[in-house]
Amino acid sequence: MRICRIIINVLILFVCSNISAQITGNIGRSRLADLESSDEFLALSDSARIIFLKEACWENRDYDLENAYSYGLHALKLARSFGYHDHIAELYNFLGVVQRNAGNYTPALDHFLDALKCSENYEILRQTGYSLNNIGNIYHLQGKYEEAASYIKRALEIVTQLNDKAGMAYCNYQLSKSLEGLNKIDSALVCNFTALNLRTQIKGAPRITVSLRNIARIYHNQLDFPNTRKYLFQSLDYAKLATDKSELATTVLLIGQYFCAVDSLEYAKDYFLSTMLIGSGSIFWDRKRDAANGLSVLFSEKKDDREALQYHRLYKIYGDSLAQQATLLKLNGLSLQYKYDEEKKELLQMQDRQVRRTKWILVFLVSGLLIISAFAIILYKQNHIKRRTNIELANKNALIQSQKDELEHYSKELNESNRTKDKFFSIIAHDLRSPFNSILYFSEILLKKIEQREYADIEEYCRTILNSSRHSYNLLVNLLEWSRSQTGKMEFIPEIFELNYLIEEVTDLISHAFIEKNINLQMQLQPGLKINADHNMMSTILRNLLSNAFKFSNAGTTVIITATSNSKGVEVSVKDTGLGISRDNIDKLFKVGQDFTMTGTNNEEGTGLGLILCSEFIERHNGKIWVTSEFGKGTSFFFTIPC
């Protein structure tokens, strides 16, 4: 046990330093865009430049999405200008992959459809197969499993025609996921075994590991634990041979979860510990987080609170880092969406210019050979100027990007220096910054749209800014009240007053939100109900419970607040028929140490702080708070205040 504690402390120190390095790691990487202005790059032929930028796009597709997209767009423009259709089809697929990785499925699908159109028009068979498979992947991510299976089957026909075993294996793997979505489990298993057989012929250990693991996962979902164990350990044997340690970490974690499912907790602990020690870097954070959570739960069940707390700390560290990573990805996705819209508009303008230019060319052709020659010279000069302008713009963009990276680097250092030791405040600070980032970001876009006289999306941007502002205000109010409570600056002053008047006062303050969302608010109050309590605290409790019911209720539903008295005191309830809470998550409410939040019916975000405030204030009154809920059918919060 002493060895475990030493390992935990070393891991915590290593994780904190490593995560900080990983979050800012991209900033330290050499920017390939800087090379575009170098003598070596300028000396390359047009085709070589396209290949260079295309490779840069692909290499950055996972960790530097914005630059990857810029590289791909620049390469696509060059390929279009010289009519390199094979490069154009491949670049459309690359750009689609970058947008997909950013979570922008609509732009990604548009790029893949463009790739399919280009590859089919010019009979580029391999790119046609890739395009069909990528389109199927997007439909799968959108939950359109029938469409996904249809496109992937077409892709499978092409790679089979090319005798591309790796492509055949990948298509079978993708097809199995869509068949699972359609609940065709037997067919999905057949596809997985086909992919496994092909990958065994190719002798690619990482891909064999993935196929075996996928087969084990399907058996695990069917509660077929003997086959689950069989294929998981086969997957482990191949994962040990692979150079990619992330596959080993994933397999070891799944084995630990399997042993948890079959109640072999000691084995589960060993495999979770092994997962924690495999590899380093952000690609391992999700697996290490799940392993730390598994260990925390195991030690809790063993009543070893010290070890459970240590691993829970690790779980929170990895979870916070993944949350930061998700926020950055979301912001990158918005930036890429904006770039895509700008590129689309520019393409339409370019097409319009090309149409007008063609008309003028026809006019000049009638004027004679001499005018045609002169016009050709003019076009050549224009093209030369355009290429020089593109190079200058690329240099300026590289400089701006470098300055932006420095600002991001200093910003992250400042955020790190301002973190407090209290992890709860770290979560609140993060959630408080996020809405302001959205407000600033969409405000900038709104200003630009107005300047450009493009009013189509203004209402949506304004609504986003309003919702983010409301969320920030409510979070700030709760944070200030909680901090006052924790530091002892909030006085507890009980007094006797009419509870019904206070309820009506609170409902009047938030009634506009209920009306805006079309939610009916009903009050069932016992007349003349008096209570001996702190007026401000009771107002905070009622406001948070009603806001919580509003957030998770659908439009057209009803929220009911009741208040009655009995021999023991006053009982108040707030009932809704909204999203509801699962049984596993009910126990996580009212606890600072539990990381549980849900997104509202209109994507409203929360931190869980409101319910924690309610719990603490009710405890100050020697009262009790509890909840009953059924997932998908609604939630009822109750609290009592003694006489």
pTM for this predicted structure: 0.50
pLDDT-derived band at 563 (thresholds 50, 70, 90) equals very high
Query: Could you give the 3-state DSSP secondary structure of residue 356?
Result: helix
Query: Could you give the 3-state DSSP secondary structure of residue 300?
Result: helix
Rounded Cα distance, 153 and 159, in Å? 10
Structure tokens at 71: 């590289």
Query: Could you give the 3-state DSSP secondary structure of residue 31?
Result: coil
The answer for residues whose C-beta is within 8 angstroms of residue 295's C-beta and 6 or more apart is 269, 272, 273, 276, 307, 308, 311
The answer for residues whose C-beta is within 8 angstroms of residue 75's C-beta and 6 or more apart is 49, 50, 53, 54, 57, 87, 91
One-letter amino acid for residue 560 of the chain: I
Torsion angles phi and psi, residue 575, rounded to 5: -120, 140
CA dihedral 390, 392, 394, 396 (to 10 degrees): -140
- Domain spans in the chain, listed from the N-terminal domain onward: 368-418, 494-642
pLDDT digits (tens, 9 = 90+) for 598-618: 776 776 666 667 788 888 889
Query: Could you give the 3-state DSSP secondary structure of residue 441?
Result: helix
Q: Which of 127-136, 385-394, 540-549 has the highest mean pLDDT?
A: 127-136
Number of Cβ atoms within 10 Å of the Cβ of 67? 23
pLDDT of residue 128: 94
Structure tokens at 559: 């929220």
| CATH of segment(s) 494-642 | 3.30.565.10
Res 3 pLDDT > 60: no
Rounded Cα distance, 94 and 89, in Å? 9
Q: How far is CA 12 from CA 3, 73, 277, 419, in A?
A: 14, 41, 12, 17
pLDDT digits (tens, 9 = 90+) for 71-84: 899 899 999 988 89
Q: Which of 70-74, 155-159, 343-347, 452-456 has the highest mean pLDDT?
A: 155-159
Number of H helices, E strands in the chain: 24, 7
One-letter amino acid for residue 77 of the chain: K
pLDDT-derived band at 408 (thresholds 50, 70, 90) equals confident
pLDDT of residue 592: 59
Res 453 pLDDT > 70: yes
- DSSP annotation of 292 reads H
In the chain, what's the furthest Cα-to-Cα distance? 106
pLDDT-derived band at 207 (thresholds 50, 70, 90) equals confident
Rounded Cα distance, 316 and 426, in Å? 11
Q: For the chain, what is the mean pLDDT?
A: 81
Mean pLDDT of 577-587: 84
Res 492 pLDDT > 50: yes
Mean pLDDT of 295-310: 87
For the chain, give percent helix, strand, coil, nearest 5. Answer: 75, 10, 20
pLDDT-derived band at 164 (thresholds 50, 70, 90) equals very high
The strand pairing partners of 563, in sequence order, are: 525, 572
- DSSP annotation of 35 reads G
Compare 478 and 253 and report the one with higher pLDDT. Answer: 253
The strand pairing partners of 570, in sequence order, are: 565, 641
Tell which residue, 246, 235, 206, 240, has the closest CA to residue 62: 246
One-letter amino acid for residue 215 of the chain: I
- Alpha-carbon torsion (455, 460, 463, 468), positive or negative: negative
